[in-house]
């Protein structure tokens, strides 16, 4: 069964607008971490934001925020004020404490920002 589901293969957003990238996860562990990474066409994976399962506040890092809804097992990434440089693949990933720190990734969402 898929542990991380990203249902949007592609998204378009106009520059300066906000966009939400969806991520749902499946785990029976009580302690886990959720991560978002950006992968531009050049290939490197860039860490964006982290949310812990026990964190009560939604994580924020600059223009990135994570809409964490634990009961629904969703961890959507919100990018505010989109920029052309935000065009990339975005991956949601989970780390479960019961596993050896490995990240489980979704299939990704390709975001394209247009002027």
Partner 1 sequence: GAGVSQSPRYKVAKRGQDVALRCDPISGHVSLFWYQQALGQGPEFLTYFQNEAQLDKSGLPSDRFFAERPEGSVSTLKIQRTQQEDSAVYLCASSQESGTSQPQHFGDGTRLSIL
User: Is 70 a binder of partner 1 (CB under 8 A)?
Assistant: no
Q: Maximum Cα–Cα distance for the chain, whole Å?
A: 44
Closest alpha carbon to 91 in 26, 44, 55: 44
User: Is 25 a binder of partner 1 (CB under 8 A)?
Assistant: no
Least Å from the CB of residue 35 to partner 1: 6
Alpha carbon dihedral 111, 58, 43, 41, in 10-degree steps, equals 20
* Count of residues interacting with partner 1 (CB under 8 A): 30
Nearest residue (CB) to partner 1, 78 versus 103 = 103
Q: Residue 15 half-sphere exposure, CB side, CA atoms within 13 Å?
A: 5
User: Is 60 a binder of partner 1 (CB under 8 A)?
Assistant: no
- Name the residues that contact partner 1, by CB under 8 A: 4, 31-33, 35, 37, 42-47, 50, 52-53, 91, 93, 95-97, 99-108
């Amino acid at each position: 069964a898929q542990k991380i589901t990203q249902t949007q293969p592609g998204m378009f957003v106009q520059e300066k607008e906000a966009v939400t990238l969806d991520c749902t996860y499946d785990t029976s562990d009580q302690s886990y971490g959720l991560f978002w990474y950006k992968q531009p066409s050049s290939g490197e994976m860039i860490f964006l934001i982290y949310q812990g399962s026990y964190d009560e506040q939604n994580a924020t890092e600059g223009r990135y925020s994570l809409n964490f809804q634990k009961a629904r097992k969703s961890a959507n990434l919100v990018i505010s004020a989109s920029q052309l440089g935000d065009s990339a693949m975005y991956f949601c990933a989970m780390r479960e404490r019961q596993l050896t720190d490995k990240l489980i990734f979704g299939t990704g969402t390709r975001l394209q920002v247009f002027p």
